[in-house]
Structure 1
């Protein structure tokens, strides 16, 4: 991949390049990076849009659903004309319209134990915006096996939460936080509980920010911390997370390395 910027790229990314913390070196790192976005929905929409706008060189989109009219209240990567289209097809078109210099891979599949490892291993980092616990557990376990940083967010009604998981560096994995896999732990989906559309925009944008920080090595990682936001009270809360030594996914298996 070329290490020099075209005049158009300099203009496109000028506000990044002006930042001493990013500069040309950081922008090149973004160009060389690859990120898998799980779910082209309420969270995946702002995540994918901001990663594309930032110049992340290769973005993978995983979703086996089609665009429905009820999605458009929050899934801003799609539009009315895309109703009935595969979400990954609709999202790819929007991302390339925003930034034609990037590569967008589409995976019109439902992640399974058979497909998860193969797909996740192709990318440097994973952003999980799925809306169910079973997919989150699959993605988490595959990221632990592949040693890929996982930036995971979730929303419901008027709130959301966000964290980064890198258990091989001593922090917890997603399963440490949510060890239960059945009963009430499964919770309600957005289609059952509802969600305030703009909440997904805030949480998805925060998720994209954390992913870009991970790529660039900027600031303080959310690894080992959980960020929670209550939109109705306009309150952010951060709590410390610890690895569960008995976790069947990561407990006692991490190799701390920087």
Structure 2
């Protein structure tokens, strides 16, 4: 059976399938079977006389059938047939997209751009974009996609808003603390643009639900912060034939690329596994919660990610397919590197256990946490508390609050020094190492009385409540 590649504007007629297997010995026979299976596609390919429309080009392999035997061009099981609507024309797929007077006014600055115009704005309104994560990257990404007029946006996020998010996740406000991020995001985006549809999924992505979810959208935008979900989203996008607009941030550096993008000639670019076939060793690359991130960086990178999504949807400009953009906020240096499909990249034939593949959990369970203020209140109330400092001895000597020093690397060996009968507050400099210590103690030794001090010794140092307790 031959493979027919369906262009983005026509996928609404093929249940969002980008590739369709059909029988037949000639182009005419394969197109006949295609339109028999998908009747709504017929009027977009053939005129009233049954002839291929003038604004539609058909390629067998890399050859235009007009230079071969036209509709009688023979095909076989190895033939890839590409349907390419002419740039100067239209497939008719956008004919039913209309705008109200208010929408015309709202999108006026887009519509008057000579190389963008009404046609591109129609494509935005017709598009379906699935955004994975509404946090640091998702916040600017979602704000600008909604403002631009992307008509259908899906948001996957089952986390809740925390006060530590507000340093960079500009989609949320103080009033959203404790609320589900997806719900808060939906409310904010509908306020920004009431003319679009927002669908939310308060669920964790798994190998069981991701492919079905991604298949419902035209483009997926990956704003996640862990490797299991990143590989899961990539592989599902490849299997579904969807472009995957990627972005990543850490401390002062950001990255952007477009993976699995099929260009107008039917050529699909590299995916994430062509760049990184396998994940790093567990713990080698910290996430933002452990290593931190400059608050303004997600705004910069998330906006660039939105830019690439818009380019992919509209066909305006050149998406970052086959290119990898790197930004250093400290030096304000940028690099755009070439990436290609690797012959030795793992074949993606199905979804796997990505937590096992990466050696880490995609989503860590919530730890019990307390703030500096709550910690001070416990002490003022005379509660019986044990305090553990998991920093290194040199850090402890420089500044401490008189806690029991058990460096992170020795926690497992010294677990018997930690009480099981009273509240135990564990801290480090900022909270990342203490979280790791708590997970080790809970997973390996069954502790259930441990509390992570938010902000660590840094938060204590900045608080007047502990001015007399700090030893320098």
Query: Is 1:210 paired with 2:308?
Result: yes
Query: Is 1:127 paired with 2:221?
Result: yes
Query: How far apart in 1 are the matches of 2:96 and 2:141?
Result: 26
Q: Where do 1:106-121 residues align within 5 Å?
A: 106-121=200-215
In 2, are the aligned partners of 1:229 and 1:237 still within 8 Å (CA)? yes
In 2, are the aligned partners of 1:213 and 1:219 still within 8 Å (CA)? yes
Query: How far apart in 2 are the matches of 1:175 and 1:163?
Result: 13
More moved, 138-147 vs 186-195 = 186-195
In 1, are the aligned partners of 2:210 and 2:233 still within 8 Å (CA)? yes
Q: Where do 1:97-108 residues align within 5 Å?
A: 97-108=191-202
In 1, are the aligned partners of 2:131 and 2:154 still within 8 Å (CA)? yes
Specify which structure has the higher proportion of helix: 1
Residue 333 of structure 2 is matched in structure 1 by 235
In 1, are the aligned partners of 2:124 and 2:149 still within 8 Å (CA)? yes
Partner-residue secondary structure (3-state), 1:201: helix
TM-score by structure 1 length? Answer: 0.94
**Alpha-carbon displacement from aligned partner over 1:153-203 (angstroms, at most 9, x marks no partner):** 000000100000126634211011112224158611100000001000000
In 1, are the aligned partners of 2:124 and 2:314 still within 8 Å (CA)? yes
Residue 240 of structure 2, aligned match among 136, 143, 146:
146
Call closer, same or farther: CA 1:65–1:249 in 2, change over 3 Å: farther
In 2, are the aligned partners of 1:133 and 1:186 still within 8 Å (CA)? no
In 1, are the aligned partners of 2:327 and 2:335 still within 8 Å (CA)? yes
Partner-residue secondary structure (3-state), 1:71: helix
- 1:248 CA drift (Å): 1.6
**Alpha-carbon displacement from aligned partner over 1:113-153 (angstroms, at most 9, x marks no partner):** 00110110110001100001110000000000001000000
Query: Is 1:6 paired with 2:104?
Result: no
Query: Is 1:17 paired with 2:123?
Result: no
**Alpha-carbon displacement from aligned partner over 1:77-102 (angstroms, at most 9, x marks no partner):** 11110100110000000000000110
Query: Is 1:194 paired with 2:292?
Result: yes
For the aligned residues, what is the CA RMSD? 1.6
In 2, are the aligned partners of 1:172 and 1:250 still within 8 Å (CA)? no
Higher RCO, Cα 8 Å, sep 6+: 1
Call closer, same or farther: CA 1:196–1:179 in 2, change over 3 Å: same
- 1:7 CA drift (Å): 1.2
Q: What is the aligned length?
A: 251
Query: How far apart in 2 are the matches of 1:52 and 1:124?
Result: 16
Residue 179 of structure 1 is matched in structure 2 by 277
More moved, 165-174 vs 232-241 = 165-174
- 1:6 CA drift (Å): 1.4
In 1, are the aligned partners of 2:242 and 2:261 still within 8 Å (CA)? no
TM-score by structure 2 length? Answer: 0.52
The runs of 4+ residues in structure 1 deviating greater than 4 Å are: none
Query: How far apart in 2 are the matches of 1:227 and 1:155?
Result: 12
In 2, are the aligned partners of 1:158 and 1:232 still within 8 Å (CA)? yes
- 1:2 CA drift (Å): 4.8
List gaps (5 residues or longer) in structure 1.
252-258
Call closer, same or farther: CA 1:71–1:249 in 2, change over 3 Å: farther
In 2, are the aligned partners of 1:47 and 1:207 still within 8 Å (CA)? yes
Query: How far apart in 2 are the matches of 1:80 and 1:39?
Result: 19
